[in-house]
Amino acid sequence: MSRKKSIVPAERGVKLIHNPVLNKGTAFTAEERKIFGLRGLLPPRIVSQKLQVKRVLENIRSKPDDLERYLYLTSLQDRNENLFYRVVMDYLSELMPIIYTPTVGLACQSYGHIYRRPRGLYISSQDKGSIKEILYNWPHRDARVIVVTDGERILGLGDLGTDGMGIPIGKLSLYTACAGISPTLCLPITIDVGTNNQVLLDDELYLGLRGNRLRGVEYQALLDEFITSCAQVFPRALIQLEDFATHNAFTLLNKYRHSTCLFNDDIQGTGSVALAGLLSATRITHQAFTDQKIVFLGAGEAGIGIADTIVEAMMDRGLSKEEARARCWFVDSQGLVCETRRDLQSHKRPFAHTHQPIDTFLEVVEQIKPSVIIGVSGQAQMFSEKVIRIMTANNDRPIVFALSNPTSKSECTAEQAYTWSEGRAIFAGGSPFNPVTIKDVTFYPGQGNNVYVFPGIGLGVLYSESTRVSDRMFLEAARIVSESVSLEELDKGMVYPSFTRIREVSAHIAEAVTHVAIDEGLTQKTLPENLVEDIRSHMYLPNYAEYL
């Protein structure tokens, strides 16, 4: 898949130029222009892809803001996918914040106003009984990775309805850029069941259904039909559930995880990437991972997903489930999650400890004395100066993960964490933060971005032809990510490896996932002599094909 190859395109002339999968723009050779009716349709000079990249970068960097850069890149993706991925892969650290967090959040908030060309599939509650027919409208018959959202909990921004389509589009771009899954195998889907966001309902340019969200039995029946139809139309596809509200996210995951090749990135992917960061942080502190006491701010799908993953990892290291859960404490909108509470949802109850009620996060940090605080609340600035100073007083190297995104929702900034801890905090954010210098020492904050995990897991599932996505795969992914952080990176305070190495990290995650699939009887795959090298050979590279 990654090698340069010769093909004969079915289209000619303008249709060939307008096909983003086949288009090479000004890079079409003289012979290709003659054979495929392109002469006169392009400027006469033949330009290499390398020079095309230079032109694209010049345009991106001349834009006045990140939203304009996002729009330019999506337009490029619409007309020339190979060039889009060449640019993104070569300049991933610079462009990932544009094609995904945090800029994608702003793009989703403006989606109905910046809409240009359709991408992906839209399935609405009006399509009940016809979902299979709609899936057959997708032009690529072998969709292998489907990212689907109903738009109810987009990042930390809430209910954006159909405007949330930017999320599955962005996620799938990362599957390709970071793990080499061909864009023709990727399918973004938004399920429109209405929205409870009155601002959108009042906006004449909003593109979704005008009405409140479908709930209950009707909602579940629609999702049942969707999952069943995907299995029939795309039987080899992996389904990633993305940005569903907590009450639906757990229900859908628990219902389908053992019968369908499916996972929820907000629960399992977030859990894996947070575990990876925590494992790396304990490499810096030289403390046992199983000795950590963790307080979570936020008890939704991200927080519970992280805690469940941490519990599994601690059990792997010899603790009982009860001992591992005792190390995880939660604070929600009502205060400490404890046994005396009668308002607890089912996903919170396993972490309800015997303790007197505590109303505020600050008081919980004072009394529980955690070594780690993890923010997944979507509430900005909740890790106050006093919280960080208490953490620093109780720990030589306090671990502070402010994982809510976009940046405007972060519980604190990297600069605040490092300044208030006098450079002692080990920090990771959900969005990117610039390096911070304290007392002539420069710290490089990590980004707890799920992109470290889900592309590699997807690649491994596709390569191994696994029939399911198991919990063990997420534990192995976390281990690989943490082990990929070099000693030099740890010395800089980094808990995640550089994005420049992410495709290599993804290849090793895919290797581990393949072993898990074989060990757990989820595939009949026979291992080649050099597994990771064979995986690399299947990874897409955005080289132009020769049309002969």
The CATH fold assigned to 6-99 is Hemocyanin, N-terminal domain (1.20.1370)
CATH class of 115-260: alpha beta
- Residue 238, pLDDT above cutoff 70: yes
* 102: confidence class by pLDDT, cuts 50, 70, 90: confident
| pLDDT attached to residue 2 | 43
| pLDDT attached to residue 154 | 94
Q: Which of 24, 70, 85, 100 is catalytic?
A: 100
Ramachandran quadrant class, 369 (left: phi over 0; alpha: psi -120 to 50; beta: rest): left
Q: The CATH number of 452-537 is which of 3.40.50.10380, 3.40.605.10, 3.40.630.30, 3.90.650.10?
A: 3.40.50.10380
Active site residue 100: yes
User: How large a percentage of the chain has pLDDT more than 70?
Assistant: 99
| pLDDT attached to residue 1 | 39
What does the alpha-carbon distance between residue 461 and residue 459 come to, in Å, rounded to a whole number? 6
Q: What is the 3-state secondary structure (H, E, C) of 383-411?
A: CCHHHHHHHHHHCCCCEEEECCCCHHHCC
| pLDDT attached to residue 396 | 97
Contacts 24+ apart (CB under 8 A), 381-389: 381/411, 381/412, 382/297, 382/411, 382/412, 383/297, 383/411, 383/412, 383/416, 383/417, 384/412, 385/416, 385/420, 386/362, 387/361, 387/362, 388/412, 388/416, 388/417, 388/420, 388/421, 388/425, 389/420, 389/421
| pLDDT attached to residue 439 | 86
Task: Please give the average per-residue pLDDT across 488-517, as a whole number.
Answer: 97
Q: Residue type at 103?
A: T
The CATH homologous superfamily to which domain 268-449 belongs is NAD(P)-binding Rossmann-like Domain (3.40.50.720)
Domain 268-449 in the same topology as domain 115-260? yes
Q: Which of 24, 171, 348, 409 is catalytic?
A: 171
- Residue 5, pLDDT above cutoff 90: no
**Shortest CA distance to 251 belongs to which of 226, 224, 211, 214?**
224
H or E stretch covering 546: strand 546-547
Q: Where are the domains of the chain?
A: 6-99, 115-260, 268-449, 452-537
Report the mean per-residue pLDDT for the chain. 96
User: How large a percentage of the chain has pLDDT more than 90?
Assistant: 95
Reported as a single tens digit per residue, the pLDDT across 280-336 is 999 999 999 999 999 999 999 999 999 999 999 999 999 999 999 999 999 999 999
- Residue 4, pLDDT above cutoff 90: no
Reported as a single tens digit per residue, the pLDDT across 439-482 is 899 999 999 999 999 999 999 999 999 999 999 999 999 999 99
Reported as a single tens digit per residue, the pLDDT across 107-157 is 999 999 999 999 999 999 999 999 999 999 999 999 999 999 999 999 889
| pLDDT attached to residue 3 | 47
Reported as a single tens digit per residue, the pLDDT across 283-295 is 999 999 999 999 9
